[in-house]
Chain A
Amino acid sequence: MLSKNKDSKKKKKKNKQGKSKDAKVKKTEASRKPFQFDYDESLESTDVVNIKEKNQLFINGRFVDPAEGKYFPTLNPGTGDVLAEVAEASGKDVDRAVQAARKAYENVWSKMSGQERGRYIFRIARLLQERAREFAVLETLDNGKPIKESRDNDIPLVAAHFFYNAGWADKLDFAFPGKKLKPLGVAAQIIPWNFPLLMAAWKIAPALATGNTVVLKPAETTSLSALLLAEVIQESGLPEGVVNIITGAGATGSHLVNHADVNKVAFTGSTAVGKMIAKATAKSNKKLTLELGGKSAHIIYEDAAIDQAVEGVVNGIFFNQGHVCCAGSRLLVEESIAPLVIEKLKDRMSKIRVGNPLDKNTDIGAINSHRELEKIKGFVRDAKQEGWEFYEAAATEPPSQGFYHKPCFFNDVASSATIFRKEVFGPVLTVSTFRTPAEAIAKANDTPYGLAAGVWSEKASKIQKTALGLKAGVIWANTYNKFDPSSPFGGYFESGWGREGGRHGLYPYVEVN
């Protein structure tokens, strides 16, 4: 409650600042454009959420204090203010959670019929839909993503994932014909901060449908929506211990991954951490799936519908502030249309509204943390130093408080450039050109990653040929950044192991006999 009041004060302040700046802009532009329509702030109300000052761990169906009594703050990246405090789970807490999951697996969940398991998961989906607005606002407050995205993308997809997987619970015999599926046991799941609740759904829903029990650790900067999900799970009457949610940072995650009684580890996050987890589990029998980083290419052929393609590029890299593992961060444009595409891209970028995540007009919200913002700035600084042509633009000046970064790109970037090779995980695009489809495919594949790719052309056979050649787990043709619970997601090479979503997404959680 305390944090909410703070929040509204800030907003008033910002309002004033914003208006005075807008006024200036109006003056200079008034002479050219007689009819200039301004956006008024359109803030989503935060009344719908009730954030506890202290947030406990969810173990064995109950909210409990951490054994060592430690709590850490979680911020609203839109303002930089403290939102609440979250429990830091120690090794002892991790052990309690894994034990609860084991007990629930042995005594209840593995014995329950698929139909009955499905009922609980369906119920969770419905409860999420009922409280969708609450979840959306909370997600935006804790993560910094624009409310229009949490409201229209994240939360509806969260419910859809539970709904989709619920239906599998009593139909597993159809998943892999002629085969019997067996759950693995206790699944340890560690998720990132870019789509906090959506990643929780991607992990929990298939694990439960296939008969596993879960210990989930959200990222330390975005724990709140997972803890609200814990409330929903409690409300749903899911047997205690089937899902446990413990909060904390890397140390907590390490305890969880290394716990001897875990059968399965599922991780979504950076390739560096994924490799640490792979090392930690290499000499165990734990089944491991990893959904890691990417440096996805976005190809535009000269025969593409260019306006749509530019729209796709903008969505591909600036969606969710670019904090997307499959972000289309490398634009490859056919040389003949490069000047036109860049002109249109610049024009489109100048209309992007960076601002308060709670504003319904905001396109790009806040960078999730100060640390991430510094990391992005570091990449941009280095790329400028390397001498690549830089461009940034936005329709608005970001708020002075909180963590923000304007959308930008580096033009005419060589394949050897750091900015072309490293995952930035922010609103930073590179633009390069190519002359032939073969060159486009070669450049797109010139990366240790293989998560996603985009291709734009009005010629179907060219699309098919390109899609065949691209080494990526997800290929968006004449679209980008589309997600669905029935559609498998995951990458080749250093983008990870396994798929999530669809029938393929069940496989990582079962033993096939």
Chain B
Amino acid sequence: MSGINQASSHIAKTTKLFIKGEFPRTESGRSFPVKVHGGEQVFAHICQASRKDLRNAVEAAKAAQPGWAGRTAYNRAQILYRMAEMAEGKRHELVEGLKTLMGLSEDKADQEVQQGIDSLVYYAGFADKYSQVMASVNPVAGPFHNFTTPDAVGVVGLLYDRDFSLAHFFSTIAAVVCAGNSVVVVFDQPGAALLSEMGEIFKTSDLPAGVINLLSGHLDELYSFLGEHMEVHSILYTGNDSQRLGELKEMAIENMKRVVPWTFDNCDLEPIVSFTESKTVWHPVGI
């Protein structure tokens, strides 16, 4: 697992970024220390992503998105379920990480991981159903077949600006990719020290490279680069800093990004709906 372990001979994993299905170091060569919960001991020096890393991630997300949205809903469902399977295999590593980094008890840490896995399964099950719930065949007053279906918004920038919770983190990402979006996640310590474990889950789930990209870094430094990026179509903001939310909304105006404050307590349909556009198609009947 990740982290410096001075006491034993086991080999600690270096935590890097997750971009385009690969694990590069930040191009900037910068890092910042993440400490063991409640102590002074350094757990790991993790990457401090730069603006350039963020751009690379957005580029990867943009390239991957149409292919991901073009997969059949059944296939997206299976891949989300596969993520749950892979997370299950990493349960021990994740639990240990949460204990060390966040000071959770064994039970609490296990519960967190369980909830995270459950949310992956939840959205796996929704991937081939949300369009049935949201779509409609509209009874227009004329000889036309008219139907409305949900379509992915595109590239979503996820600014994870709140205390880290693995369960919550998984559910935000799962909701976004469930609907065929790709995502660039920017998050801070201490959760960021688990970036490699999470990246490995996504990497081994048959998820196309670039659909999920994870960047550890300083939110204060990166949020405006994400908020202003012209290839990002939507911003998901998980924090409750209304000042920052307002700023993100202002930055969004240039290319009319959809800014979604995460206000959802549970796994639900609305988080999926928030990252879709409705497309309505008309076709004449009998003409």
Contacts and interface: CB of A to CB of B under 8 A. Distances in A.
B256 A475 contact: no
A478 B133 CA distance: 27
A83 B148 CA distance: 42
Chain B interface, >50% SS class: mixed
Nearest to A480: B282
Contact of A282 (B151, B253, B278, B281): B253
Contacts of A497: 256, 258
Contact of B279 (A292, A448, A472, A503): A472
Nearest to B136: A503
Contacts of A512: 270
A282 B249 contact: yes
A467 interface: yes
Contacts of B148: 487-488, 502, 504
Interface stretch (B48-56, B123-131, B138-146, B198-206): B138-146
B141 to A, nearest CB: 6
A467 B149 CA distance: 11
Interface string B260-287: 0000000000100000011111111001
B253 A278 contact: yes
A292 B255 CA distance: 12
Interface in B129-176: 133, 136, 138-142, 144, 146, 148, 151
A490 B140 contact: no
A293 to B, nearest CB: 11
Interface residues of B, number: 34
Contacts of B242: 283
Contacts of A271: 256
Given A282-B249, A477-B282, A489-B280, A496 B256 contact: yes
Contacts of B277: 450, 473, 492
A379 interface: no
Select the residue from B138, B243, B284 with max chain A CB neighbours within 10 A: B138
A399 B254 CA distance: 41
A479 interface: yes
A275 B255 CA distance: 9
B89 interface: no
B250 A279 contact: yes
Interface in B100-142: 133, 136, 138-142
Contact of B284 (A471, A475, A479, A503): A479
B279 A473 contact: yes
Contacts of B280: 473-475, 487-489, 502
A494 B146 contact: no
Contact of A490 (B247, B258, B278, B283): B278
A475 B255 contact: no
Nearest to B230: A448
A157 to B, nearest CB: 9
A484 interface: yes
A475 B279 contact: yes
Contacts of A496: 256
B256 A487 contact: no
Interface in A453-497: 463, 467, 471-479, 482, 484, 486-490, 492-497
A34 interface: no
A490 B278 CA distance: 8
Contacts of B139: 486
A490 B279 CA distance: 9
A463 B146 CA distance: 14
B246 interface: yes
B233 interface: yes
A224 B140 CA distance: 29
A158 B47 CA distance: 58
Interface in A58-108: none
Interface in B182-220: none
Contact of A488 (B246, B252, B278): B278
A499 B273 CA distance: 13
A160 interface: yes
B206 to A, nearest CB: 23
A478 B283 contact: yes
A290 B252 CA distance: 14
B138 A488 contact: yes
Given A177-B133, A279-B253, A494-B255, A479 B282 contact: yes
B142 A482 contact: yes
B250 A484 contact: no
Given A467-B281, A478-B283, A493 B246 contact: no
A477 B278 contact: no
A13 B140 CA distance: 43
Contacts of B282: 474-477, 479, 482, 487
Contact of B278 (A275, A467, A473, A494): A473
Q: Which of A448, A478, A486 has the most CB of B within 10 A?
A: A486
Contact of B255 (A448, A477, A488, A489): A448
B233 to A, nearest CB: 7
Contacts of A492: 151, 277
Nearest to B145: A477
Interface in A434-460: 448, 450
Nearest to B273: A507
A26 B200 CA distance: 80
Contact of B256 (A282, A463, A476, A493): A493
Interface of B: 133, 136, 138-142, 144, 146, 148, 151, 233, 242-243, 246-247, 249-250, 252-256, 258, 270, 277-284, 287
Given A278-B253, A278-B256, A488-B280, 10 more contacts: A279-B253, A290-B256, A478-B283, A482-B140, A482-B144, A484-B140, A486-B139, A492-B151, A493-B233, A503-B136
**Shortest beta-carbon contacts, A-B, top 8:** A283-B246, A282-B249, A484-B140, A486-B138, A477-B283, A494-B256, A282-B250, A475-B281
